[in-house]
Amino acid sequence: MAKAGSRQKVYTLLVQIGRKQGDGLPDKATGAALMCFASGVDEAEAVRETVALLKQADTAPLDVTGYGTLEEREEQGHDIEPEERALMQRALDENAVIVAQVTPFFD
């Protein structure tokens, strides 16, 4: 996944967000889980960039769980679909944070 000469890698992050005015979540949702693919030279940078981006998007990040790079996930035996791999490549190519999935929470 890494570009030649690039130290950037893509990390899979699960971000839990709370409610905030204008966050775009359904009315009765109490928060959400966001599956993100974020590029960074290390996981800490990917987390910082993701949290900063989500705050700019009027969300309230509460917790971030890192699942590692593509290679680390493969070593752990994760099944990674072609669509997920394509989004990871896009995050790397664009040096971006991609929100791949949003799962709202309801009480």
What DSSP designation does 37 have?
E
- At 84, give phi and psi (nearest 5°): -65, -40
CB 95 within 8 A of CB 31: no
Condensed to tens digits (0 to 9), the pLDDT of residues 14-48 reads: 999 999 998 999 999 999 999 999 999 999 999 99
**How far is residue 67 CA from its own chain's centroid?**
10
pLDDT at 6: 63
Q: Is residue 3's pLDDT more than 50?
A: no
Condensed to tens digits (0 to 9), the pLDDT of residues 62-97 reads: 999 999 999 999 999 999 999 999 999 999 999 999
31 forms beta bridges with 105
